[in-house]
């Protein structure tokens, strides 16, 4: 028997619930954090070589584009951490109903925006 159901292969036309978007965002932010940690560790290693290397790294981190990238890493890390806590609570059957899952997803987004805003303020105030 031939399947006559319509096929929608465009992922941009599918309306996912907020909980699914937060879950997908958790995976994407994990990839971003995974890719940025080696760069930050290289910068840390370079800054620990000598005082001159530390001053060079300090100049790098004063550039506006580096501050934006650093803010992006902090925002991704905050989102990944908070969403990970949410997933661990759901593994313990805390907040795993539909309604509490939505509330948890909203709380993850609010907490991430607050932390990202604080990070932007802190990074912007450092000269």
CATH-assigned architecture of domain 18-125: Up-down Bundle (1.20)
Please state, for a pLDDT cut of 70, what percent of the chain lies above it.
98
Position with higher pLDDT, 44 vs 15: 44
Domain ranges of the chain: 18-125
87 is in an annotated binding site: no
* Chain segment 69-116, per-residue pLDDT in tens: 999 999 999 999 999 999 999 999 998 899 999 999 999 999 999 999
Question: Could you count the other beta carbons within 10 Å of the beta carbon of residue 64?
Answer: 8
Q: Quote the mean pLDDT of the chain.
A: 92
Task: Return d(Cα 69, Cα 106) in angstroms, integer.
Answer: 25
What local confidence, expressed as pLDDT, does residue 127 receive? 61
Alpha-carbon distance of 25 to 105, in angstroms, equals 11
Contact of 34 with 117, CB cutoff 8 Å: no
pTM for the whole structure: 0.85
Nearest alpha carbon to residue 79 among 16, 17, 26: 26
């Amino acid at each position: 028997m031939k399947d006559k159901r319509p096929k929608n292969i465009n992922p941009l036309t599918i309306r996912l619930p907020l909980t699914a978007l937060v879950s997908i965002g958790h995976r994407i932010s994990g990839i971003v954090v995974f890719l940025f940690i080696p760069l930050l560790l290289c910068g840390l290693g370079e800054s620990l070589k000598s005082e001159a290397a530390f001053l060079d790294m300090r100049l790098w981190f004063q550039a506006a584009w580096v501050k934006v990238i650093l803010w992006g890493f902090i925002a991704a890390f905050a989102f990944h951490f908070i969403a990970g806590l949410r997933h661990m609570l759901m593994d313990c059957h805390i907040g795993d109903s539909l309604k509490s899952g939505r509330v948890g997803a909203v709380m993850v987004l609010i907490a991430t925006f607050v932390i990202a805003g604080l990070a932007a303020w802190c990074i912007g105030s450092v000269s």
